[in-house]
């Protein structure tokens, strides 16, 4: 380094520390793109080690839900969607056995706030007539929807979305997102 280069180097360094002292963004930071703004307030990501743990987590979410809420439950076959809904339904006071509605589209269970459980797996897409059949499930219930992706634009906006993924035979990654602070 020549003398001149050294001086330039030193003055650049002191300029840098001046920015730091003044708690200003350095020019590089100032130019960096702003971090993405997320409106997701609840974002919970846990690994459960048994179906019972998944049910218990679902029960925690259930405690934050109210009539009219829709919960979208996504994940591949066997990921634990129905298990999750079962735990939530129990916590909401459903006494009947909660099983997969794969062959019926939906169940509606009596409880202090009725619980609906839909599985849209077999729907390729919803047309207005089909929506007419589905709409009552959302009326005054807390509604859980498996395969919400198949409902397209028709589904009411979900208050919370749950995404389950296989980790291994007994472990599942469970993500719960909501634009509300659910206090989970
Ligand atoms: P889906 O509705 O996503 O097809 P199910 O809930 O019907 O899935 O089935 C999940 C299967 O995985 C059940 O047999 C359940 O006992 C098993 N399992 C094993 N570990 C877990 C776990 N940690 N959470 C949820 N289910 C689990
Ligand atoms: Mg299922």
Cβ atoms within 10 Å of 18's Cβ, excluding its own: 11
Q: Is the pTM of this model over 0.95?
A: no
Whether residue 74 has its Cβ less than 6 Å from ligand 1: no
Could you tell me the distance, in angstroms and rounded to a whole number, from the CA of residue 84 to the centre of ligand 1? 8
Ligand 1: residue of 46, 51, 171 to mutate (most ligand atoms within 8 A of CB) is: 51
Is the Cβ atom of 16 under 6 angstroms away from ligand 1? no
Distance of CA 84 to the CA centre of its chain: 13
* CA pair distance 9, 63, nearest whole angstrom: 60
pLDDT category at 21 given cuts 50, 70, 90 is low
Asked whether 98 and 90 are in contact (CB, 8 A), the reply is yes
The predicted pLDDT at position 130 comes to 87
Lowest mean pLDDT among 30-39, 143-152, 162-171: 30-39
Question: What atom of ligand 1 comes closest to residue 54's alpha carbon?
Answer: 24
For residue 6, the tally of other CB atoms under 10 A from its CB is 10
Tell me if 182 CB under 6 Å of ligand 1.
no
Ligand 1 atom closest to the Cα of residue 86 is 6
Confidence of residue 9 (pLDDT cuts 50, 70, 90): low
Ligand 1, pocket-test mutation among 72, 83, 162, most atoms within 8 A of CB: 83
What pLDDT is stored for residue 17 in this prediction? Answer: 57
Supply the residue whose CA is at minimum distance from atom 14 of ligand 1: 78
Residue 77 has what DSSP assignment? Answer: T
pLDDT 10s digits, 60-102? 999 999 999 999 999 999 999 999 999 999 999 999 999 988 6
Ligand that comes closest to the CA of residue 101: 2
pLDDT tens-place string over residues 96-131: 999 988 678 899 999 999 999 999 998 887 888 889
Q: Are strands 172-178 and 42-48 parallel, antiparallel or unpaired?
A: antiparallel
What are the Cα distances from residue 141, in Å, to 34, 80, 126, 155? 40, 22, 20, 14
């Amino acid at each position: 380094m020549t003398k001149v280069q050294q001086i330039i180097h030193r003055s650049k360094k002191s300029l840098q520390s001046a920015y730091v002292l003044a708690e200003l963004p350095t020019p590089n930071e100032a130019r960096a793109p702003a971090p993405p703004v997320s409106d997701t307030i609840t974002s919970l990501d846990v690994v459960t080690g048994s179906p019972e743990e998944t049910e218990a987590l679902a029960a925690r979410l259930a405690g934050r839900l109210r009539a009219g809420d829709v919960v979208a439950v996504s994940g591949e076959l066997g990921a634990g969607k129905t298990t999750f809904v079962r735990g939530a339904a129990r916590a909401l006071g459903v006494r009947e056995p909660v099983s997969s509605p794969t062959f019926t589209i939906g169940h509606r269970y009596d409880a202090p706030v009725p619980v609906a459980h839909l599985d849209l797996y077999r729907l390729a897409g919803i047309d207005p007539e089909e929506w007419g059949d589905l709409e009552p499930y959302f009326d005054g219930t807390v509604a859980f929807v498996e395969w919400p992706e198949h409902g397209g634009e028709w589904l009411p906006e979900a208050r919370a979305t749950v995404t389950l993924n296989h980790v291994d035979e007994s472990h599942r990654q469970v993500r719960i997102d909501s634009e509300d602070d659910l206090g989970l």
